[in-house]
Amino acid sequence: MTTIAKRLPFKLAILLLGSVSTLLLIMGKELPRISFPPGDTFMAEKGDANVDKAVEKAARLKGAPSTEKVFNEVKRVDATGNWAFGSISIPHASGEGAPWTRLWLAQKTKSGWIAAIDFTPTFSTWINQAPKDIVSDEEKRVLGSSNFQYGGKLVALAGDNSANLSLPWTPGQSWNFNQGPHLRNSANPGNNVRSALDFSGGDQKVKAATEGLFYKTCSGSQVQVRQSNGWQTTYYHLQNTAQIKDGTSIQRGTYLGETGTTTGCGGSATGRHVHFSIQLNGVEQGWNGRQLGGWTIYEDGSQYKGRAEKNGKVVYANPVVGKALLDNPGSTSCNTFAPTPSSKLTITVATIDLSVTASNLPGCSVYVQMWRPAVAGNPEREWNSSKQASGTSITFNDLDGAGNTIAGVSYYTVASLTPIPSGEAKKQRTSCYSTTGGKYLCDKVSR
């Protein structure tokens, strides 16, 4: 049974966020000026009185299915009532598969509301213009840096075939590989990319396969985790979804929800599982030959068939629980670094890189936190990232991801095999392996 997404009526949302007297004052203010980057196809000549209609119009222009059901969720309205932020999900014509889902940002103009859809130049531009009560600084950094070019072409992410993904469950457990690579949206016209896998088993608790920003849609039955490099992991059919605020930065391994049969925005599920898929700049990405938690996934003929290979072991997808178990290798060895590890932090004008070596890295997630103090009018800053290691060494490139490094300032890093609490790198340690019982590796570098 399809569960219709609950959402707050937009007018009511405005009233809850500001008094009637405040709104009357706002009516006399000049509305924000709209910016449209070159090359972005956009209907700007006329707005809509209703923000839902504006969002739907923008979504249809950007390739959303033509079906009548629309699940639009207004997540935030700013204090002026001139900006809104949310998500839209539209089921596909057949009713099968996960929905077409995008974030959106809307502005009120003199002619009405106009909306921009995620993964478009206009959305990226508006994100950086939006007030902070609509879009946080971290969301501006992540959502405003998608790897597309004006005109819609994707920018290739060289060497990142795996997207550095972990298996979406707790290390030490083995889950069933129910269904091999298949279409995330079986009715999506022209889409033949098998971007989805189905898993179930263990404690049924679904964990984030990578770090990123958390967004919950479809009445909580779908979670998307977004990275600044354009990659996104999507988890559907969830229940008991994590009570995490949308836009929160989460670590790899964060609890997202439990496997279920929920279909908050369409589709179907005959048994509890997680429908796990990957996208790059909103475009579905196939699994054939891609690594996931130390396993390499392959297609086998028709969709839903497939296999996973690791160290000579081959597991064929099978919906019968217990017949296709994939182990998550990060269990007991991924807590502290094995004896005699090493780490090296290097800096140039353009980038800061960190390499970590330890004998127990293969199959483990490696977490890195970097911090620098306030300098030259720039506030202090903390960065967090993580990757899954396939060998005994791993390198994190361009840790700051923010243009050139700053001369005359020291950068501090902490590396760990477990998620790092905020503020650890700020302790400004240059060596910490022994003092933390093998938990951390600490470095410092200056330019």
Average pLDDT, the chain: 81
Instruction: Tell whether residue 182 is among the known ligand binding residues.
Output: yes
Rounded CA separation 434/272 (Å): 45
pLDDT in tens, 93-152: 665 668 889 999 999 988 889 999 998 889 988 998 999 999 998 898 888 865 554 334
pLDDT band at 42, cuts 50/70/90? very low
For residue 238, how many other CB atoms are within 10 A of its CB? Answer: 24
Of the listed 273, 307, 372, 439, which one is catalytic? 273
Closest CA to 253 of 225, 217, 278, 275: 225
Q: Give CA torsion, residues 3, 317, 241, 193, to 10 deg.
A: -70
Q: Say if domain 342-446 classifies as CATH 2.60.40.
A: yes
In the numeric block, the tokens 């796990």 are attached to 276
Annotated ligand binding at 92? The verdict is no
Say if residue 31's pLDDT is above 50.
no
Give every CB contact of residue 28 below 8 A, 6+ residues apart in sequence.
none
Return the SS3 of 446.
strand
Kindly report the pTM of this predicted structure: 0.70
Q: Which residue has the higher pLDDT, 297 or 403?
A: 297
More confident call, 438 vs 269 = 438
Q: Could you give the 3-state DSSP secondary structure of residue 15?
A: helix
92 catalytic, yes or no? no
List pLDDT tens digits, range 321-334. Answer: 899 999 886 544 57
pLDDT at 356 over 60: yes
Task: Report pLDDT for 289.
Answer: 87
Q: What is the pLDDT of residue 184?
A: 62
CATH topology of domain 174-327: Glucose Permease (Domain IIA) (2.70.70)
Please state the rounded mean pLDDT for residues 429-433: 93
Q: Is the model more confident about 321 or about 206?
A: 206
| DSSP characters over 17-52 | HS-HHHHHHHTTSPPPPP---TT-----S--BSSHH
Starting at the edge strand that comes first in sequence, how are the strands of the sheet with 238-239 ordered?
205-207, 255-259, 238-239
Q: What is the pLDDT of residues 359-416, one digit of tens each?
A: 888 878 899 999 999 988 888 999 998 888 878 899 999 998 867 899 999 999 999 9
Closest CA to 416 of 349, 330, 347, 350: 330
What average pLDDT score do residues 156-167 get?
A: 56
Q: What is the mean pLDDT of residues 408-431?
A: 93
Cα–Cα distance, 373 to 145 (Å, whole number): 24
Give the span between the Cα atoms of 293 and 19, in whole angstroms.
Answer: 50
**Is 198 marked as binding a ligand?**
yes
Q: Exactly one of 57, 216, 237, 429 is catalytic; which is it?
A: 237
Domain positions in the chain are 10-143, 174-327, 342-446
